[in-house]
Structure 1
Amino acid sequence: MYQRIVIVGTPGSGKSTLAERIGERLHIPVTHLDQFAWEDGELMAPHILEQRIVNLVKNEKWICDGTYSETLELRIKNADLLIWLTDSRWKCILRVLYRYVKSKFSPQIGHNPDIISLDFLIYIWNYNKKFEALINECYAPYRSNCQLWIR
């Protein structure tokens, strides 16, 4: 059974929801990088995030969702399962818009601020094209130790 799981995908693809469901079912702790990498609405310094990831992957069991390209290879290197969510761009944009509206009524503290901008929507639109090569490149050296599921 898988015990060290990385979940990547477009914003709004359902990474956090899937991570929570798998974590509950398999009794594995979940780390959401959007909460892990942000403090008081500010993205932490890359070297601090990397050290946090180094400490996380030392654990026997973990699920980590989020792309954060700077630490992607480190997480994949230590994982036994990589789940790559590839939902349609329109579906992801609608989910992000829904999450944004929902956050206005129940704000969350200490994580990635929910901000909608044209740049962010373009990022979502181009995500799969932009990150496909990076994800494949990070995964390739570890494919013998890490299963890949694309959904």
Structure 2
Amino acid sequence: MPAYMDDLDQAVSLIRGSGRIMVVGCSGGGKSTLSRKIAGLLSLRHVSMDREFFWLPGWVKREKAEERALITEVVNGEAWLMDGTGPSTFDIRVPRTQFIIWVRMPRWICLWGICKRAFFHLGKTRPDMAPGCREQLPDREFLTYIWTFEQRFSPLVVAGIDRYGPDIPVLQLKSRRDVSRLLDLLGAPA
């Protein structure tokens, strides 16, 4: 079982002392926004997995071997905050990580986040996406992914953390209030 933390003050102290942080969770939950804020506060390089590893311009998926090589290069660095779940890359990322923040929002919040994202960014490329990956309306497959994330994909996250970093502290944020409290304690406006 992952080393879940309940004490937010202790978690903040550990986050401040960490140079390598992963932020994971379902799409639409607020990972990227939170990641940018924390990376800015801690002067860490914000690494968006979607932008830097997964996607090439125009929604072309990068080859796995190249993706893994790029991830390996980044995680071998000393200071980064990596935004993205990608359990298939936990074998590379988790052993080098000092702290994991799991944005574990209810699915309705994630669905709402995706709807807002589509509304505000439709036809535009978001800052956390590769160039030329213009925001699209979510399709049924993507909505199903979000709806079933907790049942289908959270077990993969737990198993990956268990296997590659069972002693790495994990802070779960399960509400917008949790996110606000974390940012307040870190000294940032929510």
TM-score, normalised to structure 2, is: 0.74
Asked whether 1:21 is paired with 2:37, we answer: yes
Mark the runs of 5 or more structure 1 residues left unpaired by the alignment.
none
In 1, Cα distance between equivalents of 2:29 and 2:37: 14
- The residue aligned with 1:127 is 149
CA contact 1:34–1:111 (8 Å) conserved in 2? no
The answer on whether the counterparts of 1:35 and 1:111 sit within 8 Å (CA) in structure 2 is no
Q: Tell me the SS of whatever aligns to 1:6.
A: strand
- Distance in 1 (alpha carbons) for counterparts of 2:154 and 2:38: 24
Bigger Rg, which one:
2
Aligned residue for 2:44, secondary structure, equals: coil
Matched positions, count? 150
2:62 to 28, 31, 44: 44
In structure 2, list runs of 5 or more residues that go unmatched: 1-16, 174-190
For the residues of structure 2 that align with 1:55 and 1:33, how far apart are their CA atoms?
13
Moved more, 100-109 or 51-60: 100-109
Equivalent residue in structure 2 for 1:143, among 166, 174, 179: 166
Give the equivalent residue in structure 2 for 1:56: 74
Match of 1:90 in 2: 108
The percentage of aligned residue pairs carrying the same residue is: 24
Normalising by structure 1, report the TM-score: 0.92
Distance 1:110 1:76, change over 3 A: same
Structure 1 runs of 4+ with >2 Å offset: 104-109, 111-115
What is the aligned counterpart of 1:65 among 64, 83, 86? 83
Residue 51 of structure 2 aligns with which residue?
35
Q: Which moved more, 1:27-36 or 1:99-108?
A: 99-108
Two-structure CA RMSD over aligned residues (Å): 1.6
